[in-house]
A and B are shown apart, each in its own frame.
Chain A
Amino acid sequence: MPVAVTTDWSFRADDVTKVYKGGVRANDGLTLRIEPGEVYGLLGPNGAGKSTLVKQVIGLLAPTSGTLAIGPHDLVAHPEVARQLCSYLPQAQMPIDAFRASEAIELTGRIRGGDRATVRARTDALMDALGIEEWRTAMGLKLSGGVRRLVGFAMAVVVPGRLVILDEPTNDIDPLRRRLLWRQVRALSEQGCAVMLVTHNVLEAEKAVDRLAVVLDGRIVAEGTPSSLKAEDRGRLRLQVMLVPGSDTPESPPWLHSAVRVGNSLVTALDEADAGHGITWAQGLVDAGTAEEYALGASTLEDAYIRLTGHVSDDDEA
């Protein structure tokens, strides 16, 4: 199968450290590499340092030390080159209140150097492919959050750079159109773009990425394919217990591998052999009035994420 991949246009971050004024160490020796055609997930809780890395890549922040490069180009020394080689969808909503949807996409494409015919055709194709063609001439102000987000995505990728950075691209988007968006992300990688997906939605990332890194406190604590990161959880189950609001966290039996509480949800992991114990224990909590319900299921990437970060991914829908 012919794949339009150019050679040696990988994105490299090498030992990137960013210490803010005031001493906060937001990135602490980050090293990673994204190949052309690869969708790479950057996962981690809020404040882990993901956005700091992104802002250094696109030249809004300067690293304290370390290098960033795409192909033969040094992005730290030449932020103006970085702006040409990278396309960026920020997590915040785009400033498109006064634009018609198609106009916002086309203007971005022209600013990024696309010619009239290419940009127009690509805008139409993207709006169709994302299922937002009926809002072509609607003003940004009138768009729902999800449609606005999709217009933003189209703006970011209408004339894509070698590295496409997507920060929480599916926020506010309905499940059906999320799937359409992921298809376009895959189309970008097929044309040789390196895609950096920044997210804290682990379940969604599991399906979308080729490789991923888990970032915590400015460091990469694990890197690999989704299945390699799940390897340690093979043979394990996840037991999730919904506690009664206000109740204390019950003491964990010794056969539970981890227990993380977020709000009223207690997420734990246990060996398949201990499934019986788990059900008895959880049912006991329900009977004692400590818990409302529980669910036992196969372990996911989320369990690896919880094990690595001590956080539950913030968004449960996927």
Chain B
Amino acid sequence: MIATLDAPAWAPTTTLRSGAGYWWTGFTWMLRWHLSSLRMWLMLLVMVQALIGVGYVLGFALFFDEIPPAAALWVSTGVPVLNLILLGMLLGPQLVAGVKEQGGYDFVQALPVPLTAAAAAWYVVTLVGGLPGMVITLVAAELRYHPPFAISPLVVPVTLLIVFTGTMIGYALAHAITKPMTTQLITQALVFVAMGFAPILFPAEQMPGWLASVNEWLPLGPMATIMRDTLTDGLIADAGRAYLVVTVWGVACGWLAVRALGRRR
């Protein structure tokens, strides 16, 4: 290898980057890339999330003359999950679809960032966009209903897990499907079907038995269960299985997302 002394610092190198330093560089700078490119959108997102959350919380009381305390508690603990699911599974994929439509997708895909670092950066972006809305929703619920919250520190890892699983499901879909329009249709259908038929705002016992059993294996119901488990005392008898189901979905979809991200056609 011959290089002259006056080669500038930016001259192309023959050294390949690898290891933890390479991963970390890719993660941090990809994260900054997303935060910069979405700065306007993230502010809007937080506002929309807060509106949806507060709207659900307040709107639910209108079903009743006097909302029963049990219903108030279910709604107060379910709507934050709704926030997080909407975020990861609906808004995330639509954002990726938007970038694909703009045409810059190839450029970003061709940047030297490890696939897991790219997925991790996207996950953190989703957290940044989603957490304020969730907190505002909880505050609104507290002010309106004063439900008997018993918030355990576990709420932090549980929120991280729910957002991770939701984000990875959406991320896998967004990257696996070529056509942006198709992504939007499928994620919208998925979210609304899943929300109508998943026990998020109400107890699973109120569903037909078969549908309740199906939901034990799907991610959305168990997400609500583990959130409730950390926000209340005694509302959930045994959440062990729900933790397991959400974790397995998260790991599986994380793996699928990274594969879809690196897939060559």
Contact = CB atoms under 8 A, between A and B. Distances in A.
Interface of A: 2-7, 9, 21, 55, 58-62, 71, 73, 79-81, 83-86, 88-90, 92-99, 103, 107-108, 110-114, 117-118, 121-122, 152, 155-156, 158-162, 191-193
B265 A61 contact: yes
B70 interface: no
Contacts of B265: 21, 60-62
Contact of B12 (A88, A108, A191): A191
Contacts of A113: 17, 22, 25, 112
Contacts of A84: 16-17, 112
25 contacts: A3-B4, A4-B11, A6-B1, A58-B106, A60-B109, A60-B264, A73-B16, A79-B262, A80-B114, A89-B107, A90-B106, A92-B102, A92-B103, A94-B107, A98-B38, A99-B36, A108-B111, A111-B25, A111-B33, A113-B22, A113-B25, A118-B9, A161-B12, A192-B3, A192-B12
A300 B80 CA distance: 67
Contacts of B108: 95
Interface in B1-53: 1-4, 6-12, 14, 16-17, 22, 25-26, 29-30, 32-33, 36-41
B99 interface: yes
Contact of A159 (B10, B16, B33, B40): B10
B113 A4 contact: no
A107 B36 contact: yes
A6 B106 contact: no
Interface residues of B, number: 45
A94 B110 contact: no
A121 B29 CA distance: 18
B208 interface: no
B68 interface: no
A6 B6 CA distance: 14
B59 interface: no
Given A88-B110, A98-B39, A113-B112, 16 more contacts: A3-B4, A6-B2, A7-B1, A80-B112, A83-B111, A90-B103, A92-B102, A99-B37, A103-B36, A107-B29, A110-B25, A110-B29, A111-B112, A113-B22, A114-B10, A159-B10
Given A6-B1, A88-B107, A95-B107, A111 B11 contact: no
B110 A107 contact: no
B21 to A, nearest CB: 9
Contacts of A90: 103-104, 106-107, 110
A80 B113 CA distance: 8
Nearest to B1: A6
Contacts of B12: 160-162, 191-193
A108 B102 CA distance: 18
A112 B3 contact: no
Given A9-B14, A111-B33, A60 B7 contact: no
Interface string B53-84: 00000000000000000000000000000000
A148 B109 CA distance: 20
Contacts of B8: 122, 191
The 8 closest A-B pairs by CB, nearest first: A95-B104, A92-B103, A62-B264, A4-B7, A83-B112, A118-B9, A2-B4, A84-B112
B104 A112 contact: no
Contact of A98 (B3, B26, B29, B37): B37
Given A98-B40, A191-B12, A193-B12, A4 B3 contact: yes
Interface string B87-131: 000000000000100111111111111110000000000000000
B262 to A, nearest CB: 7
A6 B29 contact: no
B14 A162 contact: yes
Nearest to A119: B10
Contact of B11 (A98, A117, A192): A192
